[in-house]
Amino acid sequence: MLILPSRNRWRFTGVSGSLAAGNCRLDMTDTNAFAWFNGFDLTAYQDGSHLLWMKDANGKVAWGFIKSGAPAGETLGDELVTNGDMELDSNWVDEGGMVSNRDRANGLDTGPDIGGAHTGTYCRYTITTVDARYIESTAFSLTTGKLYKLSFWHYSNDANIDYAVLDGNGSTLRRSWPVGVAAWTNLAYYLISLVTGVKGKLGLSADHNAPKYAYFDDASFKQVTDPPSTACHIVSAKGGATRAYANIESGFNPNTAVAYKIYKV
């Protein structure tokens, strides 16, 4: 059961808003809880006397107290993707009929000449004719409630590329079809693991409208261990030091948070 504090101790500040996918960047874990809303500065509420309330797309709620003081700044943990720079011909597997190879992208290997890899000597060339076929990274460990940053560079002749992130149990955490660009282009996205496990993976592909190709380079997946100074640390009690949400309703999905409110307490 979700326990809420007595509403007579809350005073709504008038500050509320909607949240879009990828812009609500949360760590929901005990000892490291924080909230980061991309495009919204929380500095004014870092005085130890405010409460953050959030609701997801299914109406589930989570809330906690905003800790006094600003975070130190966005900090990333260790790299989880092996051979993300594609310099080695290893650690990426052709899944489900995908055809790929390590390529210099200068017309000397399989792929067309696009002037070379994004960085270094090699990138990964992919061509696909079937939906949901990827080059897949070596598996890595993920932890429920932690925030991760995905980043990779792509070059494609297709209208779209296709990428997928598998959660700790191997289930699909996110799949998306960003617009492909005939120039080296970076994609960065933040998402929260929902399952602890060792089956996390990144899949990359051109979209399946044959015959299309895409190059990929400098793929990265790292935990966000601390947010920017304009975000906030969350504690379980007013004026407290324990980094945790006061309450998280069962089934709350931080990746689908749609609304927030800030209260004076």
pLDDT of 96 reads 79
Distance CA(73)–CA(230), nearest Å, equals: 8
Give the SS3 label for residue 103: strand
pLDDT of 209 reads 60
pLDDT of 211 reads 61
Per-domain residue ranges of the chain: 10-74+228-264, 76-224
pLDDT of 7 reads 54
pLDDT of 117 reads 98
Cα 110-183-200 angle, rounded to 5 deg: 75
CATH superfamily assigned to domain 76-224: Galactose-binding domain-like (2.60.120.260)
Is the separation of the CB atoms in 78 and 148 below 8 Å? no
pLDDT of 4 reads 55
Distance CA(208)–CA(131), nearest Å, equals: 5
249: number of Cβ within 10 Å: 17
pLDDT of 10 reads 80
pLDDT of 1 reads 42
Give the contacts of 115 (CB within 8 A, at least 6 positions apart). Answer: 105, 106
| Mean pLDDT per 10-residue section of the chain, whose length is 265 residues | 56 91 94 96 96 97 98 98 98 88 95 96 88 88 98 89 95 93 95 97 82 90 98 96 96 96 96
pLDDT in tens, 203-246: 999 876 656 789 999 999 999 999 999 999 999 999 999 999 99
